Structure 1
Amino acid sequence: MERADENLLPSVYKEVSEAFGAGPADLGYLSFTRNFVRGISSPLAGVLVINYDRSTVLATGTFFWAFATAAVGASPVNGFGLAIVIPALQSFIADSYKDAARGAGFGFLHLIGHMGGIGGGVLATVMAGHEFWGMPGWRCAFILMATLSALIGYFVLLFVVDPRRTDPTTDANNISVASVWMEALKAMKAVVKVKTFRIIVLQGLVGSLPWTSMVFFTLWFQLIGFDHNSTASLLSLFAAGVAMGSFLGGALGDRISRVYPNSGRILCAQFSAFMGIPFTWFLLRVIPQSVSSYYTFAITLFLMGLSISWCNTAANNRTMIYAFDRACEGSFSAFAAPMVGILSEKLYGYNPKSVDPTNGSLPEALALSKGLFTMMAVPFGLCCLFYTPAHWFFRRDRLNVRMASLKETELI
């Protein structure tokens, strides 16, 4: 449901643009608001899941985003709700899998999430082309998704049990709010000193830019001339590739790390980031931007999703301080969407008034593709480059953690 909610607004960019006379830059600011709030709110989620019942935290975040989705998805509260839920899910996965299989666990989580994203994107794109009870279909899609999200939140509250409830040594009710924040502050100071974490944040700052930029894919295909059903099927193939690639990346990271424990996961992540460069170039600059290129687009999107989605499950999500990492990456990557719009309009000549509501506009599609290429190819290359120092620092950081654990065990 979280992925489905994320895909709602980008899936109806064209309809929102027509309804409010908004260009790519204006549409980018909508995504910026949600992503920025989600990024800066993530540390709060990290604090909550450490010291409070995680099923309640999950349900609360879900209710937040359900309420905001019903308000047409433009409210910053939506970003706040998503910020609470995602780190809590990461915490569940970290506690549910042993280290040797945790990559597969994160991969499975991403696989299920992207399947939900496919459903949400297809639903919104198809519904956007119709009216229901005199109401535009894209508005109905938000109301429907809000209802389903609230239902999921209720089920989480009713059925999900935090494993820590059965731990007699854990009593979150006796922990004061002040001590919670003090503990989080100490954890953050300790984490910032870890060089591997700095590398993960550095690559994430640029590596998350292409993914945020991809919110314009739906609008781009519709500008080329694809109808709602064709656009939905193309994006579904891409999402399916990303879902399978996420699981594949986690599994490969687990296997290669057994042979190369200090570099295997980093190599997987670097390969995945590098593959974003040729695929972005071929997709946006080589394939003729015409409806006759449907099958070429389809194959390219699927293979692209399959190969560029390994970083999180192979390497990044294994850190215990995911919420702080997400705060840095999420707040910075939020700027990608408006930057795509600004580049398309100011540098490459995109004119919102020239768009044909029925058949799209090829000049505007070309301008938008150039803006997307700039904000995708360059960050993919920098992401691959910034992973490199981790080959040296990860070994040292692992040894330091093991030595600290041994000392603590001896003291006990």
Structure 2
Amino acid sequence: MTDKKSHTVYGRQTVYAVLLAISFAHLLNDMMQSVIPAVYPLLKEKFGFTFAQIGVITLVFQLTSSLLQPFAGRIADRHPRPYSLAIGMGFTLVGLLALAAAPSFGWILAAVGLIGCGSSVFHPESSRVAQLASGGRKGLAQSIFQVGGNAGGAMGPLLAALVVIPFGQGAIGWFALAALVGIFVLARIGGWYKRQLHAAARNRAGVTKTAPRFPRRTVRIALFILGVLVFSKYFYIASMTNYFTFFLMDKFSMSVQGAQYCLFAFLAASAIGTFFGGPLGDRIGRKYVIWGSILGAAPFTLLLPYVGQTATILLAVVIGLVISSAFSAILVYATDLMPDKVGMIAGVFFGLMFGLGGLGSAFFGWLADKTSVQFVFQISTLLPLLGVVTGFLPNIEPKRKKE
């Protein structure tokens, strides 16, 4: 292989242009999706929704995404469709326009369901693109991809505070412009992806032909433990993403916009922390990153419900920085277990992320109606303690050599 494009696939060169492009698309995708929880206070006031109904909205969005993602990933492994990325963004475009005009609870559920379908197509296929462009540095590639999503997730509440809260539900439609930009970017990425697949076919070196490296029992145990870790992380994240604004408004009498800015601070810290998990995992081992990220956040989460306003905001930022580094390491660890099924594994874990987040939102919404938002935060802070189970993960990685 002598031409540059082929070298980037089969050599050790990391294709940063593609990684940055797919990260930017991830930013746009998750920015649009994060508008949904960011406008909950507006929707709650306008339609008189209960906390349980708010939880159901999130549940529908997360489940349409999570239930479809493993199937989309399995299809991507068997029959890659480079331009499906742009088609998935089209679902998000339609969903946003529907949400901007939705007149009732049922229409809102249909709109967020369409946005969830777009997510189910985007994440598995784009994770395959990231690994294809990684040049062997899979942790770095996954972190670059993931940091785009986290940055977009952080921008959603900020843009909602600046655009949607002042101008109302119809202003959600302006975010459809971002979907159009995303479709253009993903179409360009699809062209690159198609060329790499053709090159792989010509050289009989397709990325899905890697033989299994680990016994089935080892894989099953590891995947179960990773599932527990994803549960602990994203049930806790659900309480922060969906109810942190209500917690601040209830405990400290913050305005809606002020609480949105604090949520932005938490999500921005999460975006920053995300970037370090993958490269650090490449260097010291993913198991140690997972352990330090989830269990390491526990002391800060345990303090958060019991301190003053300034300390609450500072702790939220620290929690975001620490706990966010886990997912890239978890996903790459899982794909190392089954390297011939990158799309399916990415779909399963992104699906778990969204599905557990949705279940967590619905559960904590129900609990908030029965008790209080402050009680929700007293309970949810215990979840990162489950990070202790990381110690039972099999040691599947070779010892790192000093560069």
Shorter-chain TM range is 0.7 to 0.9
2:311 equivalent in structure 1: 296
1:373 equivalent in structure 2: 378
Residue in structure 2 matching 1:246, options 271, 274, 296: 274
Secondary structure, counterpart of 2:328 in structure 1: helix
- Answer yes or no: is the 8 Å Cα contact 1:13–1:218 preserved in 2: no
1:220 equivalent in structure 2: 247
1:59-78 paired onto structure 2 within 5 Å: 59-72=86-99, 74-75=109-110, 76-78=113-115
CA deviation profile, 1:96-120 (whole Å, cap 9, x unmatched): 1144x22122222222222222222
1:287 aligns with 2:318: no
1:95 equivalent in structure 2: 132
| Cα distance in 1 for residues equivalent to 2:150 and 2:352 | 23
The 10-residue stretch of structure 1 (237-246 or 158-167) with the greater mean CA deviation from structure 2: 158-167
| Cα distance in 2 for residues equivalent to 1:168 and 1:102 | 20
Residue in structure 1 matching 2:232, options 180, 196, 206: 206
| Cα distance in 1 for residues equivalent to 2:384 and 2:116 | 25
How many equivalent residue pairs?
Answer: 340
Report sequence identity in percent.
19
2:42 equivalent in structure 1: 15
The 10-residue stretch of structure 1 (89-98 or 311-320) with the greater mean CA deviation from structure 2: 311-320
1:314-325 paired onto structure 2 within 5 Å: 314-318=329-333, 319=335, 320=342, 321-325=345-349
| Cα distance in 1 for residues equivalent to 2:355 and 2:228 | 13
Residue in structure 2 matching 1:46, options 68, 73, 76: 73
Structure 2 CA distance for partners of 1:191 and 1:112, relative to 1, 3 Å: farther
Q: Which runs of 5+ in 2 are unaligned?
A: 1-27, 100-107, 203-207, 336-341, 399-403
Query: Which 4+ stretches in 1 moved above 6 angstroms?
Result: 189-192
- Answer yes or no: is the 8 Å Cα contact 1:12–1:128 preserved in 2: yes
TM-score normalized with structure 2 length = 0.76
1:156 equivalent in structure 2: 186
1:272 equivalent in structure 2: 293
Deviation of the 1:94 alpha carbon: 1.3
- Answer yes or no: is the 8 Å Cα contact 1:64–1:80 preserved in 2: yes
Structure 2 CA distance for partners of 1:256 and 1:299, relative to 1, 3 Å: same
- Answer yes or no: is the 8 Å Cα contact 1:125–1:231 preserved in 2: no
| Cα distance in 2 for residues equivalent to 1:12 and 1:232 | 10
Residue in structure 2 matching 1:26, options 37, 53, 68: 53
Secondary structure, counterpart of 1:273 in structure 2: helix
Secondary structure, counterpart of 2:109 in structure 1: coil
2:142 equivalent in structure 1: 106
Q: Which runs of 5+ in 1 are unaligned?
A: 172-179, 258-264, 349-366, 400-412
| Cα distance in 2 for residues equivalent to 1:39 and 1:191 | 25
TM-score normalized with structure 1 length = 0.75
Based on CA coordinates, which of the two structures has the bigger radius of gyration? 1
